[in-house]
Structure formats: C-alpha cells, structure tokens
Structure 1
Amino acid sequence: MFFSRGTKAELAKLKSNVAAQQKSLLASLLASAWVVEARDPYTGGHLWRVAMLSGKLARALGLSESEANRIAMAGFLHDLGKIGVPDAILRKPDKLTDDEFAVIKTHPNIGARLIASHPFSPLVMNAVLGHHETPNGRGYPQGLSDAQIALDAKIVGVCDAFDAMTSSRPYRRGMPIEKALQIIASELGQQFDRRCGEALIALQGTGELEHIVGHSDEGIPLAQCLMCGPTLVQVRGSHAGGHLACPNCTADYVWESDAAGHLAAKPTGNKASADALAPVADVVQIEDLATRWVSALEVLQAP
C-alpha cells in the first residue's frame, strides 16, 4: 500500500496527538492515585517506592523495558481502591480489629471496579486486583493459588509487602532491609512467589534497594516530623521558605536550605494552615513518571 507524503505526515501527526493524549490521561490517573495515598499520613512515597521496586524486579526477572514500565505503572496504581476505605480505619494508629481488616480487604475489588472502564485497565488490572493474592491460596480477594496469580500481581505484591515492612508506622519503626528480606525468604512459596522473592533478595547489597527505601522520589528521603517520624514528603517543587504540614499531627514546618542547598524541614511551633494540609499531587514527579512509562501504552495502539 502506498501513501502520499502528505498522508504520511498526517498519520504521523495523528499518532503524535494520540500519544500526547494518552500521556495526559496517564498523568491524571497517577495524580488521582497520589491524592488517594495522601489520605494516610504514614504512606508518603509508598506508591513511588512500590513502582520503582516493581520496575527493578521486573527487569531482574528478564522482562522487557516496556513490560517493566507497565508493571511499575501498575505498582503506582495498585492501591487506588483505598479511596473506599474510611479514614477512621485507614489512619488508625493501633492494630485493626477483624471487622476493620475485613474493610481493608475490600480495596482490591474497589480498585478493580474503579479502573474497569478506564482505557488503561488492561495494563494494570491484574496488579490492582491481585496484589494481595498469595501462592498458598490464603490471600484476598479471590483466594487464588500460585498458578492462578498473574506475574504482575506477584511482582507488585512482594514489593508492596517489602515496602510496608521497611516503612515506619505509628506503632513501630521500619525494619532494616536485611530483616525484611529474611522474612520474605522465610515465606517463599507461601505468602510470596518464590521466583519473585528470590529475585528481590538478590538485589540486596547492590545499592538498588537503599536508594528506594525511605525515599519519596529519586534522591529525596522522607523528612522527619519531631512528633510522628518520617511523615514529611518533599516534592520536587519544594523550596526554602515554603511551608508543609505533618499529615498526622498537623504541625507546621518550613523548608530551610543549608550551605550545600539541601532542604531540611524545621518546625515553626504552629499548627499548619488548611492549605498546607490539603493534599496536592507532585505534578513534577507525575509528569516525569508519565514520560518514563509512556512506552507501556504503545501496546494499546497496536492493531
């Protein structure tokens, strides 16, 4: 089949426009997930960390760059369903009751329903729905066994659990990387897929994990609230003199810059303003991630 030069140019322009629209749509979806995450004061940066870990683990398993990007994207979106979990449960500082945990266990199904009609649903549905399924069949929401669980869900599931173990909560400090990996090793074939778990454990000592654990972005560790611990998220647009709030105790902090230009959060002794407490997505980070993951969307354009 032959096309005129004008037709080829028009097709190229159309393809470029479609790609730009898809990237914009992806960015809006990532922003929604970011705001959902912000409801829990102790999960700042969780989606970024799970996404980065999932991408690295996918590459370690030999998947293509496009597939690794798709799974990283799914890692960022895996907790969308927590929008349906009440704040009283999501933000509870103590151990959950059985009834409260039953509510938490609804979030994969809620996320699946939210994403079902979205054009990117085929790319992330397995991870959104299945990241709490376990090889021994005791996971949720469907109680699937090993062979029934999609690889995407296995990857995101072990990365999600690893980040939960190495992150601080009101009732405990985050575990050292070594201890978290020892727990994963003890649960291979039971709570965690053996191949995925072994590949994650093999990253120990490479420096790949240390640059993610305790961070909310590339090279940006979580900042410490004097009362609550690592709850302060520095976004890429943060600057000296800018204010931020601890989402847990609502204390007001201001960014101060040292001689090297590094920012540190300093308490003002005041309560944060309503504006500072309002969740606002890190648009710079999201634009960067959307640009990085746009290759994963190309499969949607395939005939």
Structure 2
Amino acid sequence: MARRAFFAFVALLLVIGLPLLVAPWFGIGSPRGAPVTITIDKGSSLAAVSDDLERAGLVDSPRQFRLLARVLGGPDPVQAGTYRLIPGDSWRHYLRIMQEGRIERVSLTIPEGMPSVLVAERLRAEPRLTGAVAIPAEGSVLPETYEFTPGEPRAAVLARMQAAMTKTVAELWPARSERAVVTTPEAAVTLASIVEKETGKPAERRTVAGVYGNRLAQGMKLDADPTVIYPITKGKPLGRRIRRSELAADTGYNTYLKPGLPKGPIANPGRASIAAVLDPAPTDALYFVADGSGGHVFANSLGEHNANVAKWYALRRQRGEM
C-alpha cells in the first residue's frame, strides 16, 4: 500500500512539475523585456553560457537551462560572438540562435567623397568597435555601408573597407572605355575623387568626368577648387573663401597652378565616380559652373562659360551671398 502511494506521489509530481520545468524552454508565461546584448567567448562550455545568460537576466536557473539544453536542445555547439536576445523569449530560441551563430551585426556608413581623416574619426567614434586605427591613405577606402560585430577591431573593419576599394578598382579598370584619359588605376581614383567633390548630382558625374578628361587631353589646367582646399584641411570643409595666396601655392595638389592631376586623391571616391571616370560622357564641354539648384551648367567655349558665371554671380547677389 505504501509503495503504491509512493509511485502515485511521484506520478503526481511529474504531472504537476514537468510543465513547470519545461515552461521556460517554450517561453510559456514569460513577460518580454527590452533587448539584451550578451557576448559568448570562444570555447565557452554550456555551463559558462548558462551562467552568462543568468547574469544577463535571460534565465533564472542556469542548472535548469543546462538540463533542458542537453535533453531537448540538440548536439550542435554554441558559437562565439555577440548576440542580441530578448528577455521572455523561449530558452529554446536562445539556444538555437547561439548554435546557428546568428550574431548581432551593426553597420557603419562611409559616405561618398569622405576624406580619410574623417573616415578615421568615424571609426574612432564608434563605441562598439575596439582598438586604435590610423588614418588610411587617401583614396584607399571604398565608401559603402559595412557591417561589423560589436567588439571587432577598428583596424579589421578598415582593412575590409580598403580591400573593397582594391576589388572595385580591379573590377572596373578592365572595362574602361576609349574616352577614358587616365592611364593607371591610381590616376583613375585621383580623378574620381575630384569628380566626387565637384558634383553632388549622380546624373552629372559622367559629364563632369568628360569635362576634366577634355581638359587633361588638351593640356589645360583643371582649375578645381577642392584640390586647393585639400592640403589646407585634409579634406574637411574650409569654412571660408579660398585666398589668392592659396590659389598660388605649389602644394602638389593645386590644379590652378599647373596642368595635370594632383599628386594623389583628395577624398575617397565611390564606385559611381570611379566608373564615370573610366567611362566619361561624350561631350565637348570644357567648363562648368554652379546653376544655383545644386547642379551645374556646362559650356564648350570660354565666352559661353563667362556668361554662365555672370548669371551665377547675379543669382548669388540676389540671394545676398555676395
């Protein structure tokens, strides 16, 4: 009789206790909270993972989590990385995310035409990256949005940006058209950086590239303001008008002083500007000036260009800018 009562008691515990034991595994009755970030170190055991989950407030019993994971979770190991988990999700979901390595990824965007000094500043300002990073060579970074995992070294992210630029130039260079005047990939990046700084309108890139190509082919000076500004600010905004002394300074970048390209890029050009330089628009234009709407008006002759400049100055005076 006593033995029968004992087994009945055990059966009753199983009926009542088993649902309580497995409820967290399926997320039954768990209130959801704000996302929590947790980092799992390489080589962490299931015991270490369960302790990490407890410290993050994601499980209330590491021992219970380990038991359920071993019985119901499958044999795949937990992968190292940083994960974004939501309190109140099922423990089964936590384990599956970590077994599949669905690590948290965040992104950092480098805009087209950003100079390298600002690329380094942007990397240093990202608190989820680690370690030091040097200012990269100008023109070596491809402007793009890059994903990274929290805790990744800044130098590693920069290396991916530079590898992307190398790959992009290598892909575009063989397909250059007969109108391209640049003779090396390095020259293409340098000219593309000028195009990038001269126009913010995507539709104008190939025409601006065509104008500069025409001027280079005829031995004319490029007369590009951004090349004068670059050695002064390393690509940052000047914040004032260019001085006459700066237009006369021989910096190696000043395209008002002598014909040809500057000694190197003045920014990090995007893929579209590099492609524009390698396939410029067929145009006879040799000049362009702002049109007041964010774009430019192009001219084939100096007389036509001077008339366009006069219209631009009149518009600026009307706006109170001069």
With structure 1 as the length reference, what TM-score do the two structures score?
A: 0.21
With structure 2 as the length reference, what TM-score do the two structures score?
A: 0.20
The higher radius of gyration belongs to 2
